[in-house]
């Protein structure tokens, strides 16, 4: 499984390495040196402060623990952080769940001073353009996908005419390629996701006036009963598939 994710992202990175990043930059005002200062302004707490329950990684880690507790994902889950920035959120996830496979994609790979640290600790970062990521699927869906400030910030992206469909492509990519997705989204985005068939669970505060949400085409785990229903549905689907193969 790890090999397949690595190959998927390495192939995309190889293609993008031959292209001019300036032609794919969507958020050129993204801060590099002081990104955590901006996060503190927008969230109220740094991504480094994982012990603070209001921090973005703390909220995400709580949700992951719930998914593991109810059997939706295992301790060795895979997670991709799209537009991961300094990758501190992924770093906190990797430290909390050492068996996890943590991948980040960002056009600014190598420009953040933190990238060497987080990669040393097991996070894999790739210089991949989302214009290409959202048009190519991995062989196996990720257990979890993240897209935080940039998802709620599509309106501030410098989308070119041929890129106007990127928000739609992103939602379709999440449907096909992530069992669960954590986003920071506006109220209107949340309503649109529900209309697309996603189950939506608000799990905390996002940047500025956005909310952090967990979405899935599956029923989100709110209770032990939910996890048993999910388990039984998988068992039924498995035996139905076996019966069809025997016919």
What CATH code is carried by the domain that includes residue 148?
3.40.50.150
Confidence class of residue 241 from pLDDT cuts 50, 70 and 90?
Answer: low
Q: How many domains does the chain have?
A: 1
pLDDT above 70 for 208: yes
Cβ 100 vs Cβ 93: under 8 Å: yes
| Interval 76-94 mean pLDDT | 98
Residues 215-230: pLDDT tens digits? 999 888 764 444 455 4
| Domain region containing 100 | 2-246
d(CA 31, CA 27): 10
Residues 150-181: pLDDT tens digits? 999 998 999 999 999 999 999 999 999 999 99
Question: Where do the H-state alpha helices sit in 17-147?
Answer: 35-43, 56-69, 88-96, 115-120, 130-133
- Which pLDDT value is given to residue 244? 58
Of 231 and 126, the one with more pLDDT: 126
Helix 56-69 / helix 88-96 crossing angle, nearest 10 deg: 40
- Which pLDDT value is given to residue 224? 42
Cβ 206 vs Cβ 212: under 8 Å: yes
| Interval 66-80 mean pLDDT | 96
Mean per-residue pLDDT over the chain, rounded: 92
- Which pLDDT value is given to residue 2? 77
Cβ 157 vs Cβ 27: under 8 Å: yes
Confidence class of residue 16 from pLDDT cuts 50, 70 and 90?
Answer: very high
Q: Model pTM?
A: 0.88
């Amino acid at each position: 499984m790890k090999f397949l994710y690595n190959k998927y992202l390495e192939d995309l990175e190889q293609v993008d390495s031959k292209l001019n990043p300036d032609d794919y930059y969507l958020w050129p005002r993204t801060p590099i040196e002081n990104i955590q200062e901006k996060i503190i302004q927008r969230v109220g707490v740094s991504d480094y402060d994982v012990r603070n329950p209001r921090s973005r990684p703390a909220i995400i880690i709580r949700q992951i623990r719930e998914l593991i507790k109810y059997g939706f994902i295992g301790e060795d889950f895979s997670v991709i952080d799209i537009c991961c920035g300094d990758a501190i959120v992924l770093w906190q996830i990797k430290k909390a769940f050492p068996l996890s496979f943590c991948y980040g994609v960002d056009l600014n790979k190598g420009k953040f001073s933190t990238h060497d640290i987080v990669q040393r600790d097991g996070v894999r970062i790739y210089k991949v353009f989302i214009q290409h990521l959202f048009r190519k699927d991995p062989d196996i869906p990720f257990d979890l996908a993240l897209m935080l400030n940039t998802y709620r910030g599509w309106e501030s992206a410098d989308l070119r005419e041929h890129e106007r469909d990127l928000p739609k492509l992103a939602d379709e990519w999440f449907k096909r390629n992530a069992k669960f997705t954590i986003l920071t989204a506006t109220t209107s985005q949340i309503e649109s996701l529900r209309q697309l068939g996603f189950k939506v669970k608000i799990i905390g505060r996002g940047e500025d006036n956005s909310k952090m949400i967990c979405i899935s085409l599956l029923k989100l785990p709110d209770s032990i009963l939910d996890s048993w229903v999910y388990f039984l549905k998988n068992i039924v689907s498995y035996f139905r598939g076996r019966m069809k193969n025997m016919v």
